Amino acid sequence: MVMLLFILFMSPRSATAIGHVCGKEDNYTDNSTYQSNLASLAVTLPSNTNSSAQLFATATAGQPPNAVYALALCRGDITINLTACSACVANAFNYSQQACPFARSAAVYDDDCLLRFSGADFLAGPPNVTENATLFEFGNDATIRGEARLVGADVRDMLTQTAQFAAADEQRRFAAAFMDATATTLYSMGQCTPDLSADDCRECLRRIIAGTVNATTSTRLGGRVLVTRCNFRFEANRFFSDDQSMQRITPSSAISPATPVPALATNKRHRTKPWAIALFVASSALAVLTLCFIFYCRWRRRRDEKGKGRSRRKKRTNLLRGDEQEWEMEAELSDFSIFGFNQILEATSNFSEQNKLGEGGFGPVYKGKFPEGIEIAVKRLASHSGQGFIEFKNEENAFDRPTMLDVVAMLSNKTMPLVEPKQPAYFNLRVGNEEESTGTQSCSINDMTVSATAAR
């Protein structure tokens, strides 16, 4: 016990810290059991914190009412120096005896670590993120030059985003960031104890930011707020060493340029040149005009295509009407007959399946019978057949067919031949066996009929 007390108090004059909060509980007495338990934690907690991957440790020594509960947290970016964490925690124990002698509880804050111990079990149960009994606040007296409203908005936005980054770090709940501004570049850091959940860490940082960063403190060149479970800091100089995990934050508004202090010389690289702004505006306008021209051309082409389509449909409709009139005239002048669609429906029993004879490439074929007893076969063209009104004509030109006068003259005249028939619309190659044929007459050139073209 004597050796532990010697280690705890061997160099109190050399111990330093940036701040502390002494507890208001009753003090312990010299050479008491509580003092012995505290000395025991002063030996084990620094090494336990340094060896932790999270740079965080909690410990308990003794039994109530002389039990001591302690917590230590090192900053998340001091991993390069492996002994810095343990040295900082050990220094915090020594400093607590100097700043808060014989106090049963105390909180000590340094640049690289924080320490808290108490005779009350503050480690039991869920972490209390709302406690402010250990709050320590420090601010820089110098201010950032510029419009206070814009500066304050940028600083609050930077700290809020830094808190989000810290809460998202699953291992250490630590984040470092920087924000470019016209007058200066600001650096920020946020950290929670790793035993907090992401939501609890975010809430802890939100509360201390909202409670301490106001219209006055947000325009200063630096400041920090620390409680047991979380802390944040921002400065005009980079105060952390972790470059790999440093996040960049875009300011929500531009800080107005003003006459800076010597340490805050304006960086010319961040100035926006007038010619760059003019080039950006001109290129944007040209891009908009180009898109408008492209859309207009496409709209004009679609409109012209629709007009041409209507013209073609109108022309085809006129042709079909002309063919229909021609057929009606032929029906009046010959035995050629035109049947209405209703007559076809009645004859085929509305194209019933019982009357279906088969189906080909152009569509199904149905049998039917007119009321006068005439049996017919009707082909109903399928929509995909490509056949239509014009394809029912047997000749490419109806005027090429011989008239009845030509037929009468041919029959009564032995020297007048008929015009040879042409290939009909429904042209098919003749399929047959010439060796089995008993006919003595050859086929016409259409391969479908036997015609004698010589005069009788």
Of 102-111, 190-199, 424-433, least confident by mean pLDDT is 424-433
- Residue 107: name the closest of 116, 119, 99, 98 by CA: 116
Greater model confidence, 247 or 390: 247
Please determine, for residue 182, whether its predicted confidence score (pLDDT) is greater than 90: no
Whole-angstrom Cα distance, residue 137 to residue 201?
19
Give the tens place of pLDDT for each residue, 291-316. 999 989 988 888 888 776 666 665 55
Q: With bands split at pLDDT 50, 70 and 90, how would you rate the model's confidence at 102?
A: very high
Count Cβ atoms below 10 Å from residue 254 Cβ, excluding itself: 16
Domains 2-118 and 136-268 share a fold: yes
Mean pLDDT of 13-33: 87
Using CB atoms within 10 Å of the CB of residue 427, give its burial: 0 to 12 exposed, 13 to 18 middle, 19+ buried: exposed
DSSP annotation of 454 reads S
Give the tens place of pLDDT for each residue, 210-263. 888 877 777 787 888 899 999 999 888 888 876 667 888 887 765 444 434 444
Whole-angstrom Cα distance, residue 211 to residue 234?
16
Give the tens place of pLDDT for each residue, 331-387. 555 555 677 888 888 888 888 888 888 887 778 888 888 888 888 888 887 766 666
Whole-angstrom Cα distance, residue 382 to residue 183?
79
Q: What is the pLDDT of residue 13?
A: 47
Q: What is the pLDDT of residue 336?
A: 57
Q: Please tell me the CATH code under which domain 136-268 is placed.
A: 3.30.430.20
Please determine, for residue 265, whether its predicted confidence score (pLDDT) is greater than 50: no
Three state DSSP letters for 101-141: CCCCCEEEECCCEEEEEECCCCCCCCCCCCCCCCCEEEECC
Whole-angstrom Cα distance, residue 60 to residue 69?
5
Q: What is the pLDDT of residue 430?
A: 47
Q: What is the mean pLDDT of the chain?
A: 77
Please determine, for residue 181, whether its predicted confidence score (pLDDT) is greater than 70: no
Q: What is the pLDDT of residue 387?
A: 64
Structure tokens at 159: 């700290």
Whole-prediction pTM value? 0.53
Mean pLDDT of 446-451: 51
Pick the CATH number of 2-118 from 3.40.50.1820, 3.40.50.720, 3.30.430.20, 3.30.1370.60: 3.30.430.20
Please determine, for residue 395, whether its predicted confidence score (pLDDT) is greater than 90: no
Domain positions in the chain are 2-118, 136-268, 398-429
